[in-house]
């Protein structure tokens, strides 16, 4: 026997059997029988999965097929550990892992390179949107603001770019403005060339926008969450919320009870998470807590430890009723938090929620409508929102909005965003000599008649287009990409007004990544500059992963195309990947 064989022996590990996603895992090795959760049959168990797997494949073929389909191809922690041991035993002797200083230097270096690339991309950028929000961790004394900018490029594609984090000593508007100004300057941007501030309704940010003469749009998700906050101040809602929060705190403190309840839920096919405590700043927290409570309530009855949290029939009916009328608000939050949302969707979303709530006959529905009306009236007073709706072909000049929007008045406001001077009448040169057929045919598709390139004239023609044949594009930027030659002035205005998403959710996602870093025990003394560098590298990695994915998909597309060309006698079932259209 080779003496070194014990050191170089291959470590063999088996993947976790799929049966344990179906059967309850035995508590110890002495269990001799396992009950099938589907047909309740008692099956012999002697430490091997052969018998119970055979029962699953023979009696429950559809369930077994679904388990295989939904199985996540990820390495469990024990398998990952075994894989790392293999790497450790087979690594070259001369290999030395980089130390902490080298890793930090690499992160800082990559971050600096990314900053330079972003700076070049944002060179001479004007009329951009600034998205920002504040983050505070009192225990670790972290207080900083995030900076994202959004803009529409010449191809009418919106881009949202993370810039930096800036530490703020005080929470007043002057201190915040100074740090934001420094952050923008690092990337060659001027505060005076910012067109819009999208953030929550914090008084320092409101005052900051006012002093810098910026348009300000209240983050759509924060706006909808304030409706829930106002509604939660009602006495009947406070009582219900208090009971559910008490239950959530109990589950958070008692791990064994939480595990039992989760096991019961999973065994009965409920995938909804347990109602655990949520952050007060979590968007839609009230509805999320109610929904999770209702989904798991039937299994609370089966646990002796949770008898104190059972509710009366009348209370359960109220919770179901309230959860039902709050659902459109939560769905609105999920819609507006997307990066592909638009500021023009905020007022229609609030209006839709109001109409859905009016369908309910519940007594509390009228109280919710009062909260919605208050926020809707605030939105209608915002000229920027109304002008953006005018640039969105889905809503502009629609009779649906005539009751709350005076389009003639909005037409006068939108002139403030017109960057082109009023030109004289432009006449087309019909005697122009074209050098090739392509330029001749492309020019033929543009307007050849005499027209005045006046904004009001364009608005008149735009209104006529929507009245005769409203386009069905879901994305207004796609519409303006094709209509830029027909409406050169409005398209430039739309490029400015449609640059912002409907919410500052990019800041919230950034803060989630910050929390993941800060809350790690080995990272609780990390400095803000290091967090900033890590986030920048994370953003760089995400961009590179997206580019690599697109390249791989493109290679696969051409490989499959070549294969089909070689076998022309066979009919091809090739379907183009959806991502190639994006």
What average pLDDT does the segment 176-205 reach? 91
pLDDT, averaged across the chain: 81
pLDDT, tens digit, 9 for 90 and up, residues 38-61: 888 888 887 777 888 888 888 888
Q: How many whole angstroms separate alpha carbon 187 and alpha carbon 151?
A: 14
- pLDDT given at position 434: 61
Q: How many whole angstroms separate alpha carbon 512 and alpha carbon 521?
A: 16
Least confident range from 64-78, 359-373, 509-523, 554-568: namely 554-568
Domain extents in the chain: 9-90, 102-219+504-542, 224-381
Q: How many whole angstroms separate alpha carbon 532 and alpha carbon 166?
A: 9
Q: Is the pLDDT of residue 563 over 50?
A: no
- pLDDT given at position 540: 63
Q: Is the pLDDT of residue 436 over 50?
A: yes
Between 581 and 525, residue with greater pLDDT: 525
pLDDT, tens digit, 9 for 90 and up, residues 479-500: 999 999 999 999 999 999 999 9
CATH code 3.30.420 for 102-219+504-542: yes
% residues pLDDT > 90 (the chain): 45
pLDDT, tens digit, 9 for 90 and up, residues 96-118: 778 878 887 887 787 788 788 88
Q: Give the single-character DSSP code of 147.
A: E
- pLDDT given at position 520: 67
- pLDDT given at position 246: 94
Q: Is the pLDDT of residue 199 over 70?
A: yes
For 214, the token pair is 């910026």
- pLDDT given at position 427: 46
% residues pLDDT > 70 (the chain): 79
| pTM across the whole model | 0.73
Q: Is the pLDDT of residue 173 over 60?
A: yes
Grade residue 533 by pLDDT with cuts at 50, 70 and 90: confident
Report whether 46 contacts 29 (CB < 8 A): no
Kindly tell me the burial class for residue 212, based on how many C-beta atoms sit within 10 Å of its own C-beta (0-12, 13-18, 19 or more). Answer: middle
CA dihedral 523, 524, 530, 533 (to 10 degrees): 70
pLDDT, tens digit, 9 for 90 and up, residues 450-475: 454 689 999 999 999 999 989 989 99
- pLDDT given at position 518: 66
- pLDDT given at position 151: 94
For 407, the token pair is 């389009």
Q: Is the pLDDT of residue 428 over 60?
A: no
171-193 burial code (b ≥16 CB/10 A, e <16): eebeebbebbeebbeebebeeee
What average pLDDT does the segment 152-174 reach? 88
In 3D space, the residue among 368, 356, 354, 330 whose CA is nearest the CA of residue 237 turns out to be 368
Q: Is the pLDDT of residue 325 over 90?
A: yes
- pLDDT given at position 562: 39
What average pLDDT does the segment 9-19 reach? 53
pLDDT, tens digit, 9 for 90 and up, residues 355-408: 999 999 988 999 999 999 999 999 999 999 999 999 999 999 999 998 899 999
């Amino acid at each position: 026997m080779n003496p070194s064989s014990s050191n170089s022996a291959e470590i063999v590990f088996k993947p976790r059997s799929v049966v344990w996603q179906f059967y309850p895992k035995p508590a110890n090795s002495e269990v001799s029988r396992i009950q099938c959760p589907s047909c309740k049959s008692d099956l012999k168990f002697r430490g091997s999965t052969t018998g119970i797997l055979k029962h699953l494949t023979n009696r429950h073929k559809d369930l077994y097929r679904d388990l295989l389909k939904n199985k996540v191809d990820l390495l469990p922690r024990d398998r990952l550990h075994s894989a790392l041991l293999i790497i450790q035993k087979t690594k070259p002797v001369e290999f030395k892992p980089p130390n902490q200083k080298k890793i930090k230097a690499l992160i800082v270096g990559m971050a600096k390179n990314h900053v330079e690339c972003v700076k070049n991309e944002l060179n001479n950028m004007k009329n951009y949107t600034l998205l920002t929000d504040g983050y505070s961790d009192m225990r670790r004394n972290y207080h900083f603001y995030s900076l994202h900018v959004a803009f529409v490029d010449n191809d009418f594609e919106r881009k949202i770019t993370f810039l930096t984090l800036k530490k703020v000593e005080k929470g007043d508007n002057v201190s915040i403005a100074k740090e934001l100004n420094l952050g923008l300057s690092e990337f060659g941007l001027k505060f005076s060339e910012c067109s819009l501030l999208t953030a929550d309704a914090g008084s320092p940010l409101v005052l900051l926008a006012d002093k810098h003469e910026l348009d300000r749009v209240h983050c759509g998700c924060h706006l909808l969450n304030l409706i829930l906050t106002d509604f939660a101040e009602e006495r009947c809602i406070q009582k219900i919320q208090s009971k559910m929060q008490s239950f959530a705190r109990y589950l958070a403190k008692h791990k064994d009870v939480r595990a039992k309840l989760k096991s019961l839920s999973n065994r009965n096919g409920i995938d909804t998470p347990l109602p655990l405590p949520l952050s007060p700043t979590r968007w839609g927290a009230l509805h999320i807590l109610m929904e999770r409570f209702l989904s798991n309530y039937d299994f609370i009855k089966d646990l002796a430890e949770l008898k104190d949290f059972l509710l009366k029939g009348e209370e359960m009916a109220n919770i179901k009723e309230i959860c039902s009328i709050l659902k459109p608000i939560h769905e609105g939050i999920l819609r507006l938090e997307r990066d592909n949302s638009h500021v023009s969707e905020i007022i229609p979303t609030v209006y839709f929620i109001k109409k859905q709530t009016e369908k309910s006959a519940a007594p509390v529905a009228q109280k919710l409508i009062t909260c919605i009306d208050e926020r809707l009236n605030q939105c209608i007073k915002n000229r920027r929102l109304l002008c953006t709706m005018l640039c969105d072909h889905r809503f502009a000049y629609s009779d649906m909005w005539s009751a709350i929007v005076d389009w003639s008045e909005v037409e006068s406001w939108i002139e403030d965003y017109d960057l082109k001077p009023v030109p004289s009448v432009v006449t087309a040169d019909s005697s122009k000599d074209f050098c090739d057929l392509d330029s001749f045919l492309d020019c033929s598709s543009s307007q050849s008649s005499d027209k005045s390139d006046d904004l009001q004239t364009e608005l008149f023609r735009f209104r006529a287009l929507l009245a005769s044949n409203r386009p069905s594009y879901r994305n207004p930027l796609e519409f303006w990409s094709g209509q830029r030659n027909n409406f050169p002035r409005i398209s430039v205005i739309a490029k400015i007004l449609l640059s912002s998403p409907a919410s500052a959710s990019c800041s919230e996602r950034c803060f989630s990544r910050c929390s993941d870093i800060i809350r790690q025990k080995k990272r609780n003394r990390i400095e803000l500059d290091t967090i900033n560098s890590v986030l920048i590298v994370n953003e760089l990695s995400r961009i590179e992963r997206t580019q690599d994915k697109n390249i791989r998909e493109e290679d696969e597309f051409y490989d499959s195309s070549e294969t089909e060309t070689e076998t022309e006698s066979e009919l091809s079932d090739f379907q183009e990947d959806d991502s190639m259209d994006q």
